[in-house]
Amino acid sequence: MTGFFITGTDTEIGKTYVTCALLRDMRGRGLRAVGYKPVACGDRSDARAMREASGETALSLELINPIYLRAATAPRMAGELEQRNLSIGNMVEGLHALASVGYDPILVEGAGGWEAPLAAPQLTMADLAVAFGLPVILVVGNKLGAVNHAILTARAILARGLECRAIVLNQQSEQWSAACVSNRRLIEQYTGLPVRAELICGQREIDSRTVLGV
């Protein structure tokens, strides 16, 4: 199985938007790609969007998103509110369940940012990424402050012994600034990692071969 872990410098930074763009491109090339959202909080819109991008409308939402928590907060707190113990092992099993029915590649999307609290006592999304052991794709919102956030997150990914395969800059606003123009160059210089895609606001197309190498 080929897989990638999609994370972001923050919540609401465009992880699902980028994931869906990658899925549509791979599907368009004939790959049986699918998205996997181990845990979702608040609603299941991300999982539904990934299912639609995969073209697998009949696929059970429970396979794409095995853990759904109603509160729109960090998974740990949402789990505590429902008195549910979140298990990384169960989330890894969910990935293998998708792979066992022939999906490949699988794009695993985290919830929130890299260190979003996941479960007691001190587990975060980073621990889940380590358990998967997949190359990481870092989504960065192209705005003022992006360089700082990208450096911190990229260093945290590498410190966990994981590969940061690529950075994707995502422009969420139609307004451009000096930061938006210069962020790519500075992020590459300070992280030593490639920005393999730079999406402008509203862009739905992305070359998955350039970003993922598959």
Each residue's pLDDT tens digit, 59-107: 999 999 999 999 999 999 999 999 999 999 999 999 999 999 999 999 9
Element of type H or E holding 168 = strand 164-170
Interstrand relation of 34-36 and 106-109 (parallel, antiparallel or unpaired): parallel
Structure tokens at 166: 């690529």
* Mean pLDDT computed over every residue of the chain: 96
pLDDT tier at 174, thresholds 50, 70, 90: confident
Catalytic residue numbers read 37
CA–CA dist 31, 3 (Å, integer): 13
Burial class (CB in 10 A: 0-12, 13-18, 19+), 154: buried
CA–CA dist 6, 34 (Å, integer): 13
Q: What pLDDT shows up at residue 41?
A: 98
Length of the chain: 214
pLDDT in tens, 153-163: 999 999 999 99
Contacts of 96 (CB under 8 A, 6+ apart): none
3-212, what's its fold?
Rossmann fold (3.40.50)
pLDDT tier at 192, thresholds 50, 70, 90: very high
pLDDT in tens, 136-157: 999 999 999 999 999 999 999 9
Asked whether the bond before 38 is cis by omega within 30 degrees of 0, the reply is no
pLDDT at 176 over 90: no
Domain boundaries of the chain, sorted by first residue: 3-212
pLDDT at 175 over 90: no
Structure tokens at 53: 């991008």
Structure tokens at 188: 């590459």
Q: What pLDDT shows up at residue 173?
A: 85
Structure tokens at 20: 């869906």
